[in-house]
A and B are shown apart, each in its own frame.
Chain A
Amino acid sequence: MATRTNPQTNTNQSLWEQLTSAMSRGITPYILLTAYAIVVPFLAITNLMADARPSLYGDILFVAMLGTFLLLHKAPVTKTYSYVVAGILLCVVLPYFGTFNQLYMDVMIQIGMFCVLTLGLNVVVGFAGLLDLGYIAFYAVGAYLWAIFSTNQAANILPAMAASFPLGPEWFIIFLPLALVIGAIFGVLLGLPVLRLRGDYLAIVTLGFGEVIRVLMTNLDRPINISNGAQGIKDIGQPPLFMNPLFSAVGFDFNRAQISQLHFYVMVLAVLAIMLLVVNRLNNSRIGRAWTAIREDETAAIAMGVPLVQMKLLAFVTGASFAGVMGMIFAAKLTFINPPTFDLIRSINILAMVILGGMGSIPGALLGATLVTLLNLQLLPRITAELEARVEGLPAALDPAQYQRMIFGLLLVLMTIFRPQGLLPEERRSGELHSDNAPILTQEGPEPVATADKPTTEDSDSTVKQAGG
């Protein structure tokens, strides 16, 4: 094309820029993207048809297939086109691909679940600027709700109705909105007392709340056995397999595991779609702007008439309710939960996803959730497998699959130092005049706000007074 001419005419452009500008003209991106979206899944599916075992090549194709969504987001194509391609991929290609290999299907379901959780936490942390370190508690509440009522556990709480427990699969659909409501109620319960606190206090109180829920679940096997204590609850009920008639009508012959996975896939996808719709609408509304105002400057937001507590509570409740629903799906999928499933590292896991993608950015949250989940479920086990094949007698401590804490830790520290706006920054943030990477403070110019709202100077005061008296 015309732009691929001699580099002398536009010396200020790198080769990469020339290439991308060539690819983003006119109809070219559509052709390239369509080709990509056809070739990669085709290769991936044929690869699995030939050999269903996971391999390095298969992993690369799988990641390349997920990468289509990022390309669709970044490429200069119309929204309609992106939505159509993404829709076909999500509703037809990916589930079909997943039926060949349970592992990939499981990864996709987990990515979907973490996308919902990340979006939820993104509302709290990214939109409203409230650091919630106990987010997993709401997830736990949803998970335990279904776990208790779909097993005999509920008979201990409601002995009068013991005969009706465990509840059948058809109740799952009724419990989904219930989990939403219960999650929201717990959000209000925690939110009302603590939302008047400033940012860092809020972080530690939510952390405490998360721990309290976990400790309660570990210990509530006495005096009434509610949570079955540290042993956890097993044989949690499955959701109804409502799509079976559809499959047999179309003529697919899946085994039980495939059908179960497909149902979870569809459910997670549906919840994710609703979540995306809700979050997107909220973000571009009056409420979303109020959240941004609170995040940027609480005092100024109050002065502008933003109802602080309601808005913060709304952010909390939005995040909590969806976490409740996801927790319920999670419990049904795993069929076994115990308290350590919901420890602090899970909350930080989700936080790392939000930070990686970019606080306040919806595409960023999706990207962060996908990348971290892939890292956890694909990259680390893959590295471990490759290392074990090559290195004899690898010490168990160096098993890369155990590096989770370090990786999340590094991710958080490096992202906050070098790219605090995340991989896909929020649009509103990119419109700001100041840069997040402000030059390193020499020393004499600390933020005026940081020193002005100092709550406790009485220590120095009192000691000076002591010296004076």
Chain B
Amino acid sequence: MTAQGEAVSGSLGTRRSITTILGQIFGPLLQIFYFVIGSAVILGAIVIILALLLRGTRDDIDLLQGTLIILPQVIVDSLVRGFLYAMIALGYTMVYGVLEFINFAHGEIFMVGAFVSAGFGLVLANSGALETFNPFAFVVIAVLLGAAVSGTLAVSIERVAYRPMRNSPRLVLLISTIGMSLLLQDLVRIIATMTPLGFNARVQTPNLGSALTLAQIPLGERTINVIIDSRSLIFILASIVMLIFLNYLVNVTRMGKAIRAVAQDMPTASLMGINVNNIIALTFLIGGALGGAAGVLFGIRVQAINPYVGFLPGVKAFTAAVLGGIGNITGAMVGGIVLGFLEAFVASYLSLFTAGQFAGANYADIAAFSILIIILIFKPEGLLGEATTQKV
């Protein structure tokens, strides 16, 4: 009995072994890794089979060779898209976990982060320090700055616009978040156009290094270059670091336990002495900070942003959250990765396979929304979610 009691108390977190903690932090990442490998292998196999089947249809190029040559680049693109959606999706899923509504303004929180990176680059450029600035320090400071601004913004929005309505019907709350999203877009537009940033802001960075050639695989008379450009690499690495931090925060710390408790049962959590309002503000802070950091990395990677860049990634990240099972943190990351892969493959291969009849980049959006609709109809609980029935 005593042994059992000890085991229980140990498992409750008072005396957890280092392996348990590491498992809690890296377990979800391992799951992401499996999904990355799985998506890459399955989608890669599908396009290769399609290329073999359609080989005779194109006279001008060898379809199989064309497919293979761009494959590594597509996978890098998939990873960047995947981590982008994963980071934004976490904000949706955490808010949904505790409050059960879609925070439409989250895409704009992300956009604000991107503008922070543009502003930071501009300030450095004006002071003349940009060229000599340490690239590593630049990325770290920009990400922290973006996370701080966006996190604060998300918490303030919750306080001003959502908390007064926590008891009203969900429809009303949803409409308020839509209003907030529009408001933020226009505020940023006004600020950007009034400052030297301009509507189409350029994100200036120090020299972040040249592209990294990972491998060169010979294929007939041509070679497949497996190249990853520095900005994509920064994006992927920084995302992984932040996901590790999030897993630590949510799964290991006392604060994380409180968040999980509130998500599970709000009244009971408050009876256990958890300050529910603080925890809700905290989820907005974490979600907003992650969204802002994603925005900074996005800005650094694409280098040109405008106040409306947040909308589409926001909606797609929501799709990712639903795909993974909304309210489930690991699910959001996995959903983001899977969606990123699907979208990048559609964007790259659709025009190749249809001889340019369908411009893939444009149909990628349609693919993302179709996935959302299909998932919601056939598996509304998502990839990692569990089936639940609606109770009264």
Binding site for B on A (CB under 8 A): 125, 129, 131, 133, 193-194, 196-201, 203-205, 207-209, 211-212, 215-216, 218-219, 222-223, 299-300, 344-345, 348, 351-352, 355, 359, 395-398, 402-406, 408-414, 416-417, 420, 436, 438, 440-441, 443-447, 449-461, 463-464, 466-469
Contact surface of B with A, Cβ cutoff 8 Å:
8, 11-13, 16, 20, 23-24, 27, 96-97, 100-102, 161, 163-176, 178-187, 189-190, 193-194, 250-251, 260-261, 263-267, 270, 275-277, 311, 315, 318-319, 322, 325-331, 356-359, 362-363, 365-366, 368-370, 372-373, 376-377, 380-381, 384-386, 388, 390-392
CA–CA, A461 and B331, complex, Å:
13
Chain B residues with Cβ under 8 A from A396's Cβ?
A: 193
Contacts of A445 in B (CB 8 A): 267
Bound CA span A408–B179, Å = 7
Which residues of the other chain, B, contact A199 by a CB distance below 8 angstroms?
170-171, 174
Q: Which of A196, A208, A396 has the most CB of B within 10 A?
A: A208
- What is the CB-to-nearest-CB distance from A116 to chain B, in angstroms, rounded to a whole number? 21
Residue of B16, B183, B261 near A410 (CB, 8 A) is B183
With a CB–CB cut-off of 8 A, which chain B residues contact A453? 390-392
Residues of chain A contacted by B184 (CB below 8 angstroms): 409
Q: A413-B161, A417-B165, A460-B260 are in contact. Are A211 and B315 (CB under 8 A)?
A: yes
- Contact assessment for A406 and B182 in the assembled complex, using a CB-CB cutoff below 8 Å: yes
| Contact in complex: A219, B369 (CB < 8 Å) | no
Least distance between A221 CB and chain B CB atoms (Å): 10
**What is the chain B residue whose CB lies nearest that of A395?**
B194
Which 5 A-B residue pairs are closest in the complex by CB-CB distance? A412-B179, A456-B327, A409-B183, A409-B182, A397-B193
Q: A203-B102, A405-B186 are in contact. Are A411 and B179 (CB under 8 A)?
A: yes
Q: State in angstroms the CA–CA spacing of A253 and B373 once bound together.
A: 55
Q: A204-B102, A460-B264, A468-B11 are in contact. Are A408 and B175 (CB under 8 A)?
A: no
A454 to B260 alpha-carbon distance, docked (Å)? 13
Known contacts being A209-B369, A459-B328, A467-B13, is A416 close to B173, with CB within 8 Å?
yes
- Provide the bound-state CA to CA distance between A412 and B184, in Å: 13
Considering the chains assembled together, what is the distance between the CA atoms of A413 and B182 in angstroms? 10
Are A406 and B183 CB-contacts (below 8 A) given A219-B363, A438-B167, A464-B260?
A: yes
Q: List 30 A-B contacts (CB under 8 A).
A: A131-B175, A200-B170, A200-B174, A201-B376, A205-B373, A208-B368, A215-B365, A219-B363, A299-B392, A348-B182, A355-B175, A404-B186, A405-B186, A406-B190, A409-B182, A413-B161, A413-B176, A416-B172, A416-B175, A440-B164, A440-B167, A447-B167, A454-B388, A455-B390, A457-B263, A459-B328, A459-B331, A463-B260, A467-B12, A468-B12
A222 with B358, Cβ < 8 A, contacts A205-B373, A453-B390, A468-B11 known: yes
